[in-house]
């Protein structure tokens, strides 16, 4: 009789899986979706007021146009 706790599953459950991208992640060379820059990509930024409850009177959007 065989012990079921020592049998390896063909599906990877209960067995060690090598980290294929582990080296690139720890060295910082891994590429993530945030690292990809496509042509024509728009970027938005949030500008917070340094004054609490201040009223916005004017906003220069010329650089964004």
Q: What are 9-49's pLDDT values in tens digits?
A: 677 677 787 888 889 999 999 999 988 989 998 888 898 88
For residue 9, being part of any structural domain is answered with no
What tokens does 44 get? 């938005």
Per-residue pLDDT at 8? 58
For residue 13, being part of any structural domain is answered with no
Range of the domain at 47: 21-59
64 has pLDDT over 50: yes
Alpha helices, DSSP H only, in the chain?
A: 22-27
For residue 48, being part of any structural domain is answered with yes
For residue 1, being part of any structural domain is answered with no
For residue 51, being part of any structural domain is answered with yes
Kindly report whether the global pTM for this prediction surpasses the value 0.85. Answer: no
For residue 14, being part of any structural domain is answered with no
Region at 44 (left for phi over 0; alpha for psi -120 to 50; beta for the rest): beta
From residue 30, how far is each of 21, 23, 36, 47, 48 by CA, in Å?
A: 8, 8, 11, 31, 33
């Amino acid at each position: 009789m065989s012990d079921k706790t020592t049998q390896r599953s063909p599906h990877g459950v209960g067995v060690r899986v090598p980290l294929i991208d582990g080296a690139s992640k720890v060295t910082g060379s891994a590429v993530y979706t945030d690292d990809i820059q496509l042509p024509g990509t728009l970027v938005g930024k949030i500008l917070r007021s340094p004054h609490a409850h201040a009223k916005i009177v004017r906003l220069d959007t010329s650089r964004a146009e």
